[in-house]
Structures are given as structure tokens and as C-alpha cells.
Amino acid sequence: MTGAVRARPVRVLLADDHDVVRRGLALLLESDPGLVVVGEVGDGAAAVRRAAAGDVDVAVLDLSMPGMSGIQAARELNRLQPGVRVVLLSMHSDEPFVAEAMRAGASAYVCKSEGGGRLIDACHAAYRGLPAIVPAGREAPPGIDRQKAASGTPLTPREEQVLALIADGHTTKEIAQALVISPRTVDRHREKLLHKLNLRNRVELTRFALATREPGS
């Protein structure tokens, strides 16, 4: 009598710019017999290149990495390698970060404070195409499951420019000069950004801008 064929493990790619953290994550994931780490890289651009090899099922990406951030890498993977599921790993549990991750095409979002079991579960769920996992104890923001990832209110090109300049540390006056608009108009764009991203104040807006900045900015 022939025994049952055992399913192959889920192949995971890890991207984190801290070597010690990345190695620890690899050991954690491979403690589960259903997961195998097939690659470890230090930034988002390297993750996109490595995923092109075709042997990756799930990419675990740190949200904040130098060069190409985890969110930007998620966008690129969703565009170039749609068969690769993305799990974003972050220290932030705020809803705007979760919503932006899902809009970028991530299947799951895990906070680093939630423990290893949560990350393992997220990898399995992402591979199976289950609904997006968000930080424990929180409900998914409206419209951010994988099938509706693009349904959030998009930022205008001008709002994207203002957000990028905020990430670079520019003042309201400097932003106004760079974009050839008035400081009052800059303030209006800030208010619209706060509303669209569901943020409470300028400190949260700056933190969000830094975490989601585009590579090379």
C-alpha cells in the first residue's frame, strides 16, 4: 500500500536589513516543518530580484529597510511576481500602516511584538490565499483585503509630492518653495493627508511618510 504523498513545504524568502534579526527569523520559520527558507536578503530591491528565480511562495518583508522599503517591494512583487504572497513585518500596529501595506498588495501584516507563532500562521495563511491578517486584536480597515487592495482613497500626485518632502524633513515653507505653492496650500494638503490616511497629527504623518518613502528619495 502506497503511503500518502506529503505536501512540500511553503518556500519563504526573508528580507530584513539586520543580519541577526534575519537569521533569527529564518530559524523561527524553519522550526515549522511546513515552511522552508529559500533565501535571505537585506533590502527590498534584493527581494524583488531574488523572487524572480521562481522558487518563492511567500516573501516576508520588513517594512522599514534602506533603499527600497518593504511596502515598495510589495508593490513591485505584486506587479512583477503576482504569484508570490507578501507578509509585511513591522514594529507599527497603526491602522494607516496596515492599510498602506494591503493597498501595496500584501497578504498579511504582522507586528514584531506579536510573537513568532503569529508570523508562522501568517505565512501559511498567505500561501493559502486566506483573507488579510492584521495585528492581533484589530479589525481589518474597510476595503483592504487582497481582492480590494486598491479600493482605498488614492493620494493625488501633489499629495504624494508633499508626503515625500515631509519624509525628507522639509518645513512647510520649504515645501511651498519646492512646489511653487503657498504655505497655506501646503497646510491644506497636510490636512487632506491626515484625513485620507486616518492620522491624528503631524507627528504621525511624518512617521508614516518616513516608513513608506519611495526608494532613492
At residue 201's C-alpha, the angle toward residues 197 and 202, to 5°, is 95
Check pLDDT > 70 for residue 217. Answer: no
Residue with cell 515549522: 32
Within-domain flag for 31: yes
Which CATH number does the domain housing residue 33 bear?
3.40.50.2300
Check pLDDT > 50 for residue 151. Answer: no
At residue 122's C-alpha, the angle toward residues 130 and 105, to 5°, is 65
Same domain, 121 and 92: yes
Q: CB–CB of 13/51 below 8 Å?
A: yes
> Which is it for the CA torsion 40, 87, 115, 206, positive or negative?
positive
Distance CA 90, CA 70 (A): 9
> Which of 148, 167, 194 is a domain's end point?
148
How does the average pLDDT of the chain come out, rounded?
82
DSSP-derived letter for residue 14 is E
pLDDT tens digits, 124-145: 989 988 766 666 555 555 444 4
Same domain, 100 and 199: no
pLDDT at 49: 95
Mean pLDDT across the stretch 198-205?
78
Same domain, 190 and 102: no
Distance CA 125, CA 217 (A): 33
Within-domain flag for 1: no
Instruction: Cite the DSSP H helix spans in the chain.
Output: 19-30, 44-51, 70-80, 95-103, 116-127, 157-167, 172-179, 183-196, 202-211
Within-domain flag for 139: yes
Whole-model pTM? 0.66
Check pLDDT > 60 for residue 148. Answer: no
The total number of structural domains in the chain stands at 2
Same domain, 138 and 161: no
Check pLDDT > 90 for residue 44. Answer: yes
Same domain, 72 and 131: yes
Within-domain flag for 173: yes
pLDDT at 149: 37
Within-domain flag for 197: yes
pLDDT tens digits, 78-96: 899 989 999 999 887 777 7
Same domain, 36 and 135: yes
Q: C-alpha dihedral over 203, 207, 213, 216, to 10 degrees? A: 90
Check pLDDT > 80 for residue 22. Answer: yes
Domain that holds residue 168: 157-211
